[in-house]
Protein backbone atom coordinates (compact mmCIF):
# COMPACT_ATOMS: atom_id res chain seq x y z
CA UNK A 1 0.00 0.00 0.00
CA UNK A 2 1.18 3.51 -0.87
CA UNK A 3 0.21 6.38 1.39
CA UNK A 4 0.79 9.89 0.14
CA UNK A 5 0.56 12.10 3.21
CA UNK A 6 0.07 15.87 3.03
CA UNK A 7 2.52 16.47 0.22
CA UNK A 8 3.46 20.02 -0.60
CA UNK A 9 5.98 20.83 -3.31
CA UNK A 10 7.14 24.35 -3.92
CA UNK A 11 9.51 25.75 -6.49
CA UNK A 12 10.74 29.07 -5.16
CA UNK A 13 7.46 30.56 -3.98
CA UNK A 14 5.25 28.66 -6.45
CA UNK A 15 3.30 25.87 -4.80
CA UNK A 16 2.97 23.12 -7.41
CA UNK A 17 1.42 20.57 -5.05
CA UNK A 18 -0.74 21.75 -2.17
CA UNK A 19 -1.31 19.41 0.75
CA UNK A 20 -1.97 16.36 -1.41
CA UNK A 21 -3.00 13.13 0.30
CA UNK A 22 -3.83 9.89 -1.47
CA UNK A 23 -4.06 6.24 -0.57
CA UNK A 24 -3.29 3.57 -3.15
CA UNK A 25 -4.18 0.05 -2.10
CA UNK A 26 -2.44 -3.00 -3.50
CA UNK A 27 -4.13 -4.00 -6.74
CA UNK A 28 -5.66 -0.57 -7.23
CA UNK A 29 -5.82 1.12 -10.61
CA UNK A 30 -5.90 4.88 -10.14
CA UNK A 31 -5.78 7.48 -12.86
CA UNK A 32 -4.77 11.05 -12.19
CA UNK A 33 -6.32 13.51 -14.58
CA UNK A 34 -6.08 17.23 -14.83
CA UNK A 35 -5.17 20.08 -17.12
CA UNK A 36 -1.66 20.78 -18.30
CA UNK A 37 0.51 22.28 -15.59
CA UNK A 38 -1.76 21.14 -12.80
CA UNK A 39 0.98 19.06 -11.13
CA UNK A 40 0.26 15.49 -12.36
CA UNK A 41 3.84 14.65 -13.31
CA UNK A 42 5.13 16.29 -10.16
CA UNK A 43 2.86 14.13 -8.02
CA UNK A 44 3.84 10.97 -9.87
CA UNK A 45 7.53 11.77 -9.44
CA UNK A 46 7.04 12.31 -5.72
CA UNK A 47 5.23 8.97 -5.41
CA UNK A 48 7.98 7.31 -7.46
CA UNK A 49 10.72 8.41 -5.09
CA UNK A 50 12.27 10.64 -7.75
CA UNK A 51 11.41 14.04 -6.31
CA UNK A 52 11.76 15.01 -2.67
CA UNK A 53 8.63 16.88 -1.50
CA UNK A 54 8.91 20.11 0.40
CA UNK A 55 6.57 18.80 3.05
CA UNK A 56 4.80 15.55 3.82
CA UNK A 57 5.87 11.97 3.26
CA UNK A 58 5.29 8.97 1.05
CA UNK A 59 4.95 5.57 2.75
CA UNK A 60 5.26 2.40 0.69
CA UNK A 61 4.36 -0.74 2.64
CA UNK A 62 5.30 1.09 5.81
CA UNK A 63 8.60 2.44 4.50
CA UNK A 64 8.96 6.22 4.37
CA UNK A 65 10.55 6.72 0.94
CA UNK A 66 12.33 9.98 1.63
CA UNK A 67 13.82 8.80 4.90
CA UNK A 68 15.85 6.27 2.92
CA UNK A 69 19.31 7.17 1.69
CA UNK A 70 19.61 7.91 -2.03
CA UNK A 71 21.22 4.53 -2.65
CA UNK A 72 18.47 2.71 -0.73
CA UNK A 73 15.80 4.68 -2.55
CA UNK A 74 17.29 3.70 -5.93
CA UNK A 75 17.31 0.05 -4.87
CA UNK A 76 13.71 0.42 -3.69
CA UNK A 77 12.63 1.87 -7.02
CA UNK A 78 14.43 -0.93 -8.82
CA UNK A 79 12.54 -3.70 -7.10
CA UNK A 80 9.14 -2.14 -6.40
CA UNK A 81 8.31 0.25 -9.23
CA UNK A 82 8.00 -0.10 -12.97
CA UNK A 83 8.11 3.06 -15.09
CA UNK A 84 6.50 3.92 -18.40
CA UNK A 85 7.03 7.40 -19.84
CA UNK A 86 5.35 9.20 -22.67
CA UNK A 87 8.19 8.94 -25.20
CA UNK A 88 11.69 7.66 -25.69
CA UNK A 89 11.34 5.01 -23.03
CA UNK A 90 13.76 2.67 -24.71
CA UNK A 91 17.50 2.78 -25.25
CA UNK A 92 17.84 3.23 -29.00
CA UNK A 93 20.89 0.97 -29.38
CA UNK A 94 19.38 -2.00 -27.62
CA UNK A 95 16.92 -4.48 -29.12
CA UNK A 96 13.51 -5.06 -27.59
CA UNK A 97 14.68 -8.02 -25.56
CA UNK A 98 17.84 -6.21 -24.44
CA UNK A 99 15.79 -3.24 -23.27
CA UNK A 100 13.67 -5.57 -21.16
CA UNK A 101 16.81 -7.19 -19.77
CA UNK A 102 18.05 -3.85 -18.41
CA UNK A 103 16.18 -3.84 -15.07
CA UNK A 104 17.22 -7.46 -14.54
CA UNK A 105 20.82 -6.56 -15.32
CA UNK A 106 20.60 -3.67 -12.88
CA UNK A 107 19.25 -6.03 -10.24
CA UNK A 108 22.20 -8.35 -10.80
CA UNK A 109 20.36 -11.30 -12.37
CA UNK A 110 22.31 -13.89 -14.35
CA UNK A 111 22.50 -13.37 -18.13
CA UNK A 112 20.63 -16.57 -18.93
CA UNK A 113 17.84 -15.71 -16.48
CA UNK A 114 17.60 -12.19 -17.89
CA UNK A 115 17.00 -13.59 -21.39
CA UNK A 116 14.44 -16.07 -20.17
CA UNK A 117 12.39 -13.56 -18.20
CA UNK A 118 12.61 -10.89 -20.91
CA UNK A 119 11.43 -13.31 -23.56
CA UNK A 120 8.50 -14.39 -21.45
CA UNK A 121 7.49 -10.80 -20.74
CA UNK A 122 7.63 -9.78 -24.39
CA UNK A 123 5.57 -12.82 -25.18
CA UNK A 124 3.08 -11.65 -22.58
CA UNK A 125 2.68 -8.25 -24.24
CA UNK A 126 2.36 -9.88 -27.66
CA UNK A 127 5.82 -9.09 -29.05
CA UNK A 128 7.16 -12.61 -29.37
CA UNK A 129 8.08 -11.92 -33.00
CA UNK A 130 9.89 -8.66 -32.29
CA UNK A 131 12.57 -9.75 -29.82
CA UNK A 132 15.61 -8.58 -31.72
CA UNK A 133 14.18 -5.46 -33.29
CA UNK A 134 15.70 -2.12 -32.44
CA UNK A 135 13.25 0.56 -31.20
CA UNK A 136 13.59 2.34 -34.55
CA UNK A 137 12.24 -0.80 -36.19
CA UNK A 138 9.14 -0.87 -33.97
CA UNK A 139 5.94 1.19 -34.11
CA UNK A 140 5.31 3.63 -31.28
CA UNK A 141 2.62 1.31 -29.91
CA UNK A 142 5.01 -1.62 -29.95
CA UNK A 143 7.67 0.49 -28.26
CA UNK A 144 5.21 1.31 -25.48
CA UNK A 145 4.46 -2.38 -25.04
CA UNK A 146 8.18 -3.09 -24.77
CA UNK A 147 8.19 -0.40 -22.08
CA UNK A 148 5.44 -2.30 -20.23
CA UNK A 149 7.48 -5.47 -20.40
CA UNK A 150 10.53 -3.63 -19.09
CA UNK A 151 8.48 -2.07 -16.27
CA UNK A 152 7.41 -5.52 -15.15
CA UNK A 153 10.81 -7.18 -15.48
CA UNK A 154 11.72 -7.05 -11.81
CA UNK A 155 8.32 -8.27 -10.73
CA UNK A 156 7.40 -4.73 -9.79
CA UNK A 157 4.21 -4.53 -7.76
CA UNK A 158 3.47 -0.97 -8.84
CA UNK A 159 3.33 0.43 -12.36
CA UNK A 160 3.83 4.18 -12.68
CA UNK A 161 2.89 5.58 -16.06
CA UNK A 162 3.09 9.23 -17.16
CA UNK A 163 0.96 9.90 -20.26
CA UNK A 164 1.87 6.52 -21.76
CA UNK A 165 -0.73 6.93 -24.52
CA UNK A 166 0.14 10.55 -25.25
CA UNK A 167 1.81 9.67 -28.52
CA UNK A 168 -0.58 6.92 -29.60
CA UNK A 169 -3.68 7.19 -31.75
CA UNK A 170 -6.97 6.35 -30.08
CA UNK A 171 -7.09 2.74 -31.27
CA UNK A 172 -3.50 1.93 -30.26
CA UNK A 173 -4.00 3.85 -27.04
CA UNK A 174 -7.00 1.73 -26.14
CA UNK A 175 -5.13 -1.48 -26.95
CA UNK A 176 -2.38 -0.29 -24.68
CA UNK A 177 -4.85 0.48 -21.90
CA UNK A 178 -6.46 -2.93 -22.23
CA UNK A 179 -3.01 -4.43 -21.75
CA UNK A 180 -2.52 -2.37 -18.59
CA UNK A 181 -6.00 -3.30 -17.38
CA UNK A 182 -5.23 -6.98 -17.89
CA UNK A 183 -2.03 -6.67 -15.83
CA UNK A 184 -4.02 -4.89 -13.14
CA UNK A 185 -6.48 -7.75 -12.96
CA UNK A 186 -3.43 -10.02 -12.53
CA UNK A 187 -2.56 -8.03 -9.42
CA UNK A 188 -0.33 -5.17 -10.49
CA UNK A 189 -1.06 -1.82 -8.84
CA UNK A 190 -1.29 0.95 -11.44
CA UNK A 191 -0.94 4.71 -11.07
CA UNK A 192 -1.66 6.39 -14.40
CA UNK A 193 -1.24 10.05 -15.25
CA UNK A 194 -3.22 11.25 -18.26
CA UNK A 195 -5.23 14.16 -19.48
CA UNK A 196 -7.23 11.91 -21.78
CA UNK A 197 -10.59 11.24 -20.15
CA UNK A 198 -11.23 8.16 -22.30
CA UNK A 199 -8.02 6.50 -21.12
CA UNK A 200 -8.68 7.48 -17.53
CA UNK A 201 -11.90 5.46 -17.67
CA UNK A 202 -9.92 2.21 -17.64
CA UNK A 203 -9.03 2.90 -14.01
CA UNK A 204 -11.02 1.74 -10.99
CA UNK A 205 -10.74 5.17 -9.49
CA UNK A 206 -10.14 8.59 -11.01
CA UNK A 207 -8.48 11.41 -9.15
CA UNK A 208 -8.66 14.97 -10.45
CA UNK A 209 -5.93 17.45 -9.80
CA UNK A 210 -6.42 21.12 -10.43
CA UNK A 211 -3.81 23.71 -9.62
CA UNK A 212 -1.91 21.34 -7.36
CA UNK A 213 -4.94 20.33 -5.33
CA UNK A 214 -6.78 16.98 -5.44
CA UNK A 215 -10.46 17.30 -6.15
CA UNK A 216 -12.68 14.27 -6.51
Partner 1 sequence: MRTIDFVAKEMGRRKWKAAAGISCILLGISIFVAAQTTNEALYEKTKEQLLRFGANIIVQPKDEPFDAYSGSPGGSATLPEIYVNRIQNIEHSGMLVAVSPKLYERFEVGDVNLLVVGVTDDERQAKPWWMINKMVVTDEFPRGKQVLLGHYAGAHLGAVSPIKLDGETFAVTGVLDETGSADDFAAFVPLDVLQELTDNRRMVNLIEVSTSCIACPEMNLYDFVDEIDAALPDDAKVIAVKQIAEAQMGTLTKIGDFTRIISIVVLCLGAFLMMNYMSSSVSERRREIGILLAIGMDAGKIYKVFISKALILGVVGGLVGYAVGTLISMVAGPQIADTPVSPIFQLLPYSVVISTVICVISSILPARRATRLDPVEALREV
Ligand X SMILES: Nc1ncnc2c1ncn2[C@@H]1O[C@H](COP(=O)(O)OP(=O)(O)OP(=O)(O)O)[C@@H](O)[C@H]1O
Which residues contribute to the site for ligand X (CB under 6 A)?
11, 16, 34, 36-42, 195
For partner 1, which residue of 63, 91, 197, 210 counts as binding (CB under 8 A)?
91
Shortest gap between Cβ of 27 and Mg ion (angstroms)? Answer: 25
Which range in 19-27, 45-53, 168-176, 199-207 contacts partner 1 by CB under 8 A? 45-53
Out of ligand X, partner 1, Mg ion, none, what residue 135 binds, judged by CB under 5 to 8 A for its kind, is: none
Out of ligand X, Mg ion, partner 1, none, what residue 13 binds, judged by CB under 5 to 8 A for its kind, is: none
Helix (H, G, I), strand (E, B) or coil at 126: coil
Q: In this structure, are residues 200 and 194 in contact, taking their beta carbons and an 8 Å threshold?
A: yes
Q: How many CB atoms lie within 10 A of CB 211?
A: 14
> What is the distance between the terminal CA atoms of the chain, rounded to a whole angstrom?
20
Site for partner 1 in 125-154 (CB under 8 A): 134, 150, 154
Q: In this structure, are residues 156 and 81 in contact, taking their beta carbons and an 8 Å threshold?
A: yes
Which range in 38-46, 66-74, 76-84, 201-209 contacts Mg ion by CB under 5 A? 38-46
Residue number, 26 or 87, with CB nearest to Mg ion: 87
DSSP string over 43-102:
HHHHHHTSS--SEEEEEETTEEGGGS-HHHHHHHHHHHEEEE-SS--S-TTS-HHHHHHH
Our finding on whether 71 is near partner 1 (CB under 8 A) is yes
Which range in 33-41, 47-55, 124-132, 146-154 contacts Mg ion by CB under 5 A? 33-41
Q: Which of 55, 62, 81, 46 is nearest to 2 (CA)?
A: 62
For Mg ion, which residue of 31, 38, 41, 154 counts as binding (CB under 5 A)?
41
Q: Which of 64, 116, 119 is nearest to 96 (CA)?
A: 119
Our finding on whether 88 is near partner 1 (CB under 8 A) is yes
CA atoms within 13 A on the CB side of 84: 32
Binding-site ranges for partner 1 (CB under 8 A)? 45, 48, 50-51, 71, 74-75, 77-79, 82-83, 85, 87-89, 91-94, 98, 101-107, 111, 114, 134, 150, 154
Amino acid sequence: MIEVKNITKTYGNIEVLKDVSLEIKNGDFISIVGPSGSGKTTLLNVVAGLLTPTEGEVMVDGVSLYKLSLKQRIAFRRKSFGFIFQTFNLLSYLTAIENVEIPLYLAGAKSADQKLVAKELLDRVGLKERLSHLPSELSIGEQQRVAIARALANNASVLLADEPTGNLDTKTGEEFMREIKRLNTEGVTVLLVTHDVEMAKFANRQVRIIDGRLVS
